[in-house]
Amino acid sequence: MKNKVNLFFVLLAVSAILVACDLYQATLGDQVTQIIDALAATCTQMYQEDLKSEPTPGGAEVHPTETLPPIESPTPSNWSDNPFAGLVPDGALMRLGKGQIFGIVISPTEDVLIVNSYTGIYFHRLNDLSLIKVFALDKRMVCIAISPDGETLASEADDRTVTLWDVHSGEQLTTLQGFTEGVCFVAYSPDGETLASGSSGGTVILRDVRSGELLFTLEGHTEEVRSLAFSPDGETLASGSWDGSVILWDARSGELISTLEGHTGLVHSVAFSPDGETLASGSGDGSVILWDAHSGERLATLEGHTDIVISVAFSPDGDILASGSLDDTVILWDVRSGERVTMLEGYTDSVGSLSFSPDGEILASGSGEGMDGSETLWDAHSGERLAALEGHTYVVDSVAFSPDGEILASGLVDGTVILWDVRSRERLATFEGYIEYVDSVAFSPDGETLALGGTYDSTVTLWDIRSGECLATLVGHTEMVSSVAFSPNGETLASGSWDRTVILWDTSSGEQLATLEGHNNSVRSLAFSPNGETLASGSSDGTVILWDVRSGKRLATLEGHTGIVISVAFSPDGDILASGSFDDTVILWDTRSGERLTTLEGHTFSVLSVAFSPDGETLASGSYDGTVLIWDLDAIISD
């Protein structure tokens, strides 16, 4: 970044990307907010009319700081100095966000919270949630387990492998291969010598941790095994399956002891009490069943959730059982009486993982089966919320800043459009009930008009920002409108649709100027060049087409992506076009020749949005993996 102004605008664009993807993670959100507020204060003195402060989603308070934290890609190699080592790909300046959360555990020997996400495995201090280190991943790990001594971490990937990590150094110790089916869950035995893994085919495999040797293949379930738990003495293994049963196995001989049947839905979670006398199982039928771990007798059925129970955990003293559900709540139960102690609420997504601190004082919960990834710490006795690392509270599908930067418009999937005051973070207006679904929003260059696309009735609506009045309804598409864009002079509006066409409209009269046909699938993204002469359209057919706006003729078809092109953006000089795709990449194109300049790789999921800084030297890309990458274009293109 060559100056504060450029950095400010990039971060402003980044904040819009994060809002649009509903992926803002508070882990870095506070840091970014501090950077933006401090830069805004400085830049406002220099450029009063041009710069505005960045909005915090949902109207949250911000806390400006006088000292700017470092933002460049870190260079030290050791974990303590560089917790983000490996998370920033070549050509990128930094990565913002953590990504979707798959699981959390608390280390048994240290006050450390371990979070497994799309982008890496994050280690936080439990007392203040500060980040200690990150294990960068080159593949998605969908399950993690910590060894009883806290020295080794096992992570299960979706490529049928299990990797063992040294917790202190971050070194990969070994990768266990040879699994013939997908691995759905992993668990250590209490002595740390055996690793159990459940498969998508219904088998359970026991391996020796040190040698990797296969000990037993346990067969008994008819569907995938999604939960495993060893008894405290390590002699019994419980497996919960989507076939609705729980099986108890002799962990030393591999023999089946008993099959526990009683749930009417899939079994998603199992846990032994600390004394090994009781087993808890959570199910798709919304209940938790307590079993006698020796006889297999059902002791109690705990009912209180209104949806699938996907996680259960006992407190260290065995008196409390916590259950997390798709109903977005955690219930704390008295194990002896079976009565509900309290319900922990405030989540905006399912609670998929639970873990008590070793002293039983804190309960950590992970939420985010969708993209609302968050971790929350609770007082295990009072139910008080202690701290949280969280994202947005609702799915925002589209976002746009007004030209003067004073208003942010966000379109929600329920058809609501909210206008926010950027400086005060207050809600200015809410448009509700007019449309079914908002997939795209765009301000006119003068900031007076808002265009909305995405309604299932295949129309585009134009709204007066000040009065909230609907000015016009543009009818011409035959399927849902998925993208809208104003020309730089505001005289033309382009709309792209699932009907595979782009329509150009006269914004004054509402007249249809031209219909551009050329894509073989839905049009998902649009962008005008800075001079307004060229329009770029990205499509589900994996191509980008450049159009001459005046004649409506196709100038070039850019081919290179292997997935849907969901975002396009021109550089300020119009010489480069960036396209983001479901193939997890960003491609930079020369707009004059149509040649591909380079492909940017670093995201682990679809790239939903791209934005250039005003000087064209930096590009921000936002992804469904829950992160934003900031790319140094000078370095990339010069190479």
Asked whether this chain's domains 92-389 and 394-638 adopt the same fold, the reply is yes
Hey, what CATH topology would domain 92-389 get? Methylamine Dehydrogenase; Chain H (2.130.10)
Q: 137 vs 365, which has greater pLDDT?
A: 365
Beta strands 618-623; 152-157: pairing state: unpaired
Tell me how far apart the alpha carbons of residues 635 and 268 are, in angstroms, rounded to a whole number. 48
Find out whether 332 and 342 touch, Cβ atoms under 8 Å.
yes
What's the pLDDT score for residue 73? 30
Average pLDDT over the chain, rounded to an integer: 76
- Only one residue has tokens 């006889």, namely 295
What's the pLDDT score for residue 414? 56
H or E stretch covering 567: strand 565-570
In DSSP terms, 440 is beta-bridged to 453
What's the pLDDT score for residue 346? 61
569 residue type, one letter: A
Of 372, 369, 420, 367, nearest to 392 (Cα)?
A: 372
Of 517, 542, 537, 512, nearest to 527 (Cα)?
A: 537
Confidence tier at 507 by pLDDT (50, 70, 90)? very high
Instruction: Tell me: pLDDT of 453 over 50.
Output: yes
- Only one residue has tokens 């150009």, namely 504
Q: 483 vs 415, which has greater pLDDT?
A: 483
Q: 436 vs 553, which has greater pLDDT?
A: 553
What mean pLDDT is predicted for residues 142-162? 74
260 residue type, one letter: L
Tell me how far apart the alpha carbons of residues 341 and 302 are, in angstroms, rounded to a whole number. 12
- Angle, CA of 159, 161 and 164, to the nearest 5°: 135
What's the pLDDT score for residue 528? 96
What's the pLDDT score for residue 133? 75
Ranking 51-60, 82-91, 133-142, 161-170 by mean pLDDT, the lowest is: 51-60
Tell me how far apart the alpha carbons of residues 568 and 580 are, in angstroms, rounded to a whole number. 6
φ, ψ of residue 291 to 5 degrees: the values are: -120, 150
Q: Express each pLDDT in 51-66 by its tens digit.
A: 233 332 232 222 222 2
Tell me how far apart the alpha carbons of residues 138 and 132 are, in angstroms, rounded to a whole number. 20
Instruction: Tell me: pLDDT of 563 over 90.
Output: yes
pTM: 0.58
Q: Express each pLDDT in 343-393 by its tens digit.
A: 887 655 555 567 677 777 777 766 544 334 455 677 777 777 776 544 333
Strand, coil or helix: what is 602? coil
Find out whether 604 and 86 touch, Cβ atoms under 8 Å.
no
H or E stretch covering 328: none
What mean pLDDT is predicted for residues 243-248? 95
Measured in Å, how far apart are the chain's first and last C-alpha atoms?
A: 17
What's the pLDDT score for residue 442? 85
Find out whether 393 and 58 touch, Cβ atoms under 8 Å.
yes
Tell me how far apart the alpha carbons of residues 632 and 12 are, in angstroms, rounded to a whole number. 17
Quickly count helices (H) and strands (E) in the chain. Answer: 3, 52
List all residues 6 or more positions away from 213 whose beta carbon is below 8 Å from its beta carbon: 207
Q: 48 vs 485, which has greater pLDDT?
A: 485
What mean pLDDT is predicted for residues 251-255? 94
Domains of the chain, residue spans: 92-389, 394-638
Instruction: Tell me: pLDDT of 266 over 70.
Output: yes
Instruction: Tell me: pLDDT of 582 over 80.
Output: yes
Find out whether 523 and 502 touch, Cβ atoms under 8 Å.
yes
Secondary structure E strands in 84-208: 92-96, 101-106, 112-117, 120-125, 131-136, 141-146, 152-157, 162-166, 172-176, 183-188, 194-199, 203-208
Secondary structure E strands in 521-633: 523-528, 534-539, 543-548, 554-559, 565-570, 576-581, 585-590, 596-601, 607-612, 618-623, 628-632
Q: 375 vs 215, which has greater pLDDT?
A: 215
Percent of the chain with pLDDT over 70: 69
Instruction: Tell me: pLDDT of 439 over 80.
Output: no
Tell me how far apart the alpha carbons of residues 326 and 193 are, in angstroms, rounded to a whole number. 34
- Angle, CA of 457, 463 and 469, to the nearest 5°: 105
Confidence tier at 431 by pLDDT (50, 70, 90)? low
What's the pLDDT score for residue 150? 80
What's the pLDDT score for residue 137? 61
Beta-carbon count within 10 A of 300 CB? 18
Q: Express each pLDDT in 523-554 by its tens digit.
A: 999 999 999 999 999 999 999 999 999 999 99
What's the pLDDT score for residue 96? 59
- Only one residue has tokens 């498969």, namely 199
Hey, what CATH topology would domain 394-638 get? Methylamine Dehydrogenase; Chain H (2.130.10)
What's the pLDDT score for residue 297? 94
Confidence tier at 95 by pLDDT (50, 70, 90)? low
Of 633, 602, 575, 639, nearest to 1 (Cα)?
A: 633
Tell me how far apart the alpha carbons of residues 144 and 157 are, in angstroms, rounded to a whole number. 9
Instruction: Tell me: pLDDT of 79 over 50.
Output: no
Tell me how far apart the alpha carbons of residues 436 and 431 are, in angstroms, rounded to a whole number. 11
What's the pLDDT score for residue 451? 87
Ranking 238-242, 244-248, 312-316, 355-359 by mean pLDDT, the lowest is: 355-359
Q: Express each pLDDT in 273-327 by its tens digit.
A: 999 999 999 999 999 999 999 999 999 999 999 999 988 999 989 999 999 888 8
Find out whether 352 and 326 touch, Cβ atoms under 8 Å.
no
Beta-carbon count within 10 A of 70 CB? 9
Q: 136 vs 604, which has greater pLDDT?
A: 604
